[in-house]
Amino acid sequence: MRRLWDRTAAFDRPARLLMVNQFAINLGFYMLMPYLADHLAHGLGLAAWAVGLVLGVRNFSQQGMFLVGGTLADRYGCKPMILTGCALRSVAFGLLAVAGSLPALVAASALTGLAGALFNPAVRAYLAADAGEERRVAAFAAFNVFYQAGILIGPLAGLALLAWDFSAVCTAAALIFGALAVLQSRALPARPPAGRGAGPAWRAVAADWRTLAANRAFLLFAAAMSGSYVLAFQVYLALPLHARELFGRHTGPVTAAVFAASALAALAGQLKLTAWAQRTLSGPRAVACGLVVMGAAFLPLLPRTHGALAGAAALTLCAVLLAWGGALLYPFEMDTVVRLSGDRLVATYYGAYNTASGIAVSLGNLAVGALFDTGVRWLPWAVLAATGLGAPGWSRGCTGPDAWAPGRFPCPDDHDRGGRHPLAAPGPLRGPRTPPPPRGRPRPEAGPVRAGPVTTPAGQGAGARCVRAACGRAGPPGRGGRPPGW
């Protein structure tokens, strides 16, 4: 706790406020959402399809609108989106407290998801800008501690409030988000968006989305990292299903213990893992190690376990390793998104990244469910382990070979002075290499080196091409689009 306090106190007030804000967001959300399905099915007597509709609308409205929320934050500023999102969620949870009809419940659920889509990318973009390049990884590490603390305490607070009724839970959650909106309207400094043009908004948004869609390195990174979100979600899907197979009607206490172990492991390990990774690993290697740990988390579940104790130990070990792997890669993952964006349109990139991960989780859960339905006991765990263990290869493919070892990779903006791939580990910069002239032609005399497009050397293929897409040309004039090395 003292280490967390010292780390948090080292940041400016806006960053500290956003960390506390994220704790309160997760506290309010997780005190209500774990009990919503039971309230809909047993408290209101809705059919199973109606319960699925209400929950699905929330997920769809949030995941589907992340890109829009990030775009709005980049165009109109992060603070307005954070305030609007908190106010909307306060209204939505208040509506859930009194709603009894299906249309009202669907509307409240849609507002709940839309609120998250508005403030989620904005909070991360604001934190990344306030922390700065040098402290961004440390800021996201501390941010994740507050995030996980809210996930741990929220369900316990909701369970205590259920002693009254579900309306008390909704009212308390609504008050939390209302208080957050008021607090941040007064204490969070406004930061006007940079580079907002005077042209039509739709034209500027279309240009921004085209820029994002052309950033091949970012798209490949998002695709590679989507597997980590599928793996992390198995704490809520595959592990409870396996617990049901092992413990039958006693699944509830076992699942609760697994959830608690996961959250406590993330809380206890986040700052230590980040500090160790910053000392010993480059950013991409930290991400790769985190993915490998998450994949290896499912290996203890491959052998057939005999006895309740061995089964509970395997489930707990899987949850703990998943938490540690996620804690290891998360700060570097968030930093990588900023670097691949060229430090421009950061909220839009976060929104697109969250949308991609949300789609991946939905599709991945369908696949995991289908694997369980095959009846082959070891198959789900083998596929999940292979997903994590193979993901670093995909991540490496999207950043190129020089991102994984000290060295230089030329980019268009630094071709005349040497430079480094935006994800490369620290290392000595070397000057540009002049390729030898073709045979039969005289070597040109030395002269000033001019910047120009970089041709793809033979053998580097798509990895090198997508590196160029993430380097240079992406930032606003006068700042350079290429973020510096790790």
Supply the CATH number for residue 124's domain.
1.20.1250.20
Q: Which of 7-11, 283-287, 321-325, 437-441 is the least confident region?
A: 437-441
284 and 151 part of one domain: no
Across the range 151-168, mean pLDDT stands at 90
- 451 located within any domain: no
User: Is the pLDDT at 23 greater than 60, yes or no?
Assistant: yes
84 falls in which pLDDT band (50, 70, 90)? Answer: very high
Q: Which of 166-175, 229-238, 428-437 is the least confident region?
A: 428-437
229 and 353 part of one domain: yes
pLDDT above 70: percentage of residues in the chain: 78
pLDDT of residue 253: 82
**Angstrom distance (rounded) from CA 273 to CA 290:** 10
- 411 located within any domain: yes
Q: Write down the residue that tokens 């579940």 correspond to.
A: 301
pTM of the shown model: 0.77
327 and 180 part of one domain: no
**Angstrom distance (rounded) from CA 334 to CA 345:** 14
81 and 183 part of one domain: yes
Among candidates 22, 25, 53, which has minimal Cα distance to 37? 53
User: Is the pLDDT at 171 greater than 50, yes or no?
Assistant: yes
pLDDT of residue 310: 87
- 300 located within any domain: yes
49 and 87 part of one domain: yes
- 308 located within any domain: yes
Tokens at residue 244, please? 């049901």
Contact 474, 483 (CB under 8 A): no
26 and 149 part of one domain: yes
- 203 located within any domain: no
285 and 171 part of one domain: no
**Angstrom distance (rounded) from CA 422 to CA 299:** 34
User: Is the pLDDT at 172 greater than 80, yes or no?
Assistant: yes
9 falls in which pLDDT band (50, 70, 90)? Answer: confident
- 395 located within any domain: yes
pLDDT of residue 201: 74
pLDDT tens-place string over residues 305-352:
667 888 889 999 999 999 999 999 999 999 999 999 988 899 999 999
347 and 224 part of one domain: yes
Q: Helical H runs in 77-101?
A: 78-98
From 141, 170, 189, the end of a domain falls on: 189
Between residues 414 and 9, the one the model is more confident about: 9
Q: In whole numbers, what is the pLDDT of the chain averaged over residues?
A: 80
From 129, 154, 189, the end of a domain falls on: 189
Which structural domain, as residue segments, surrounds residue 361? 216-430+456-486
pLDDT tens-place string over residues 439-455:
444 444 444 444 444 44
C-alpha distances in Å from residue 426, one per residue of 100, 125, 375, 466, 479: 58, 25, 48, 20, 21
Any idea what the Cα angle at residue 62 is, between residues 56 and 64, rounded to 5°? 90
Tokens at residue 41, please? 């099915």
Among candidates 463, 467, 450, which has minimal Cα distance to 415? 450
Q: Which of 49-53, 67-71, 252-256 is the least confident region?
A: 252-256
pLDDT above 90: percentage of residues in the chain: 46
108 and 240 part of one domain: no
pLDDT tens-place string over residues 173-190:
999 999 999 999 999 998
User: Is the pLDDT at 467 greater than 80, yes or no?
Assistant: no
pLDDT of residue 204: 81
**Angstrom distance (rounded) from CA 456 to CA 437:** 16
Residues whose CB falls within 8 Å of the CB of residue 185, separated by 6 or more in sequence, listed in order: 83
- 442 located within any domain: no
Instruction: Tell me how long the chain is.
Output: 486
Radius of gyration of the chain (CA): 24
142 and 98 part of one domain: yes
C-alpha distances in Å from residue 147, one per residue of 24, 31, 130, 462: 9, 14, 18, 36
User: Is the pLDDT at 436 greater than 70, yes or no?
Assistant: no
Q: Which of 9-13, 20-24, 443-447, 476-480 is the least confident region?
A: 476-480
pLDDT of residue 197: 59
46 and 148 part of one domain: yes
Between residues 405 and 196, the one the model is more confident about: 196
Q: Which of 247-251, 325-329, 383-387 is the least confident region?
A: 247-251
338-369 burial, b at 16+ Cβ within 10 Å, e below that, comes to: bbbbbbbbbbbbbbbbbbbbbebbeebbeebe
- 27 located within any domain: yes
Contact 471, 422 (CB under 8 A): yes
User: Is the pLDDT at 128 greater than 90, yes or no?
Assistant: yes
106 falls in which pLDDT band (50, 70, 90)? Answer: very high
Three-class DSSP category at 35 = helix
pLDDT of residue 255: 84
Q: Which of 70-74, 283-287, 427-431 is the least confident region?
A: 427-431
From 189, 224, 257, the end of a domain falls on: 189
Q: Write down the residue that tokens 């990030």 correspond to.
A: 70
134 and 236 part of one domain: no
**Angstrom distance (rounded) from CA 347 to CA 49:** 35
The H or E element spanning position 383 is: helix 379-399
**Angstrom distance (rounded) from CA 475 to CA 16:** 28
Across the range 213-231, mean pLDDT stands at 91
User: Is the pLDDT at 395 greater than 70, yes or no?
Assistant: no
Other beta carbons within 10 angstroms of residue 104's beta carbon come to 13
Number of domains in the chain: 2
**Angstrom distance (rounded) from CA 228 to CA 388:** 7
464 falls in which pLDDT band (50, 70, 90)? Answer: very low
Q: Helical H runs in 162-250?
A: 166-187, 201-214, 216-233, 238-247
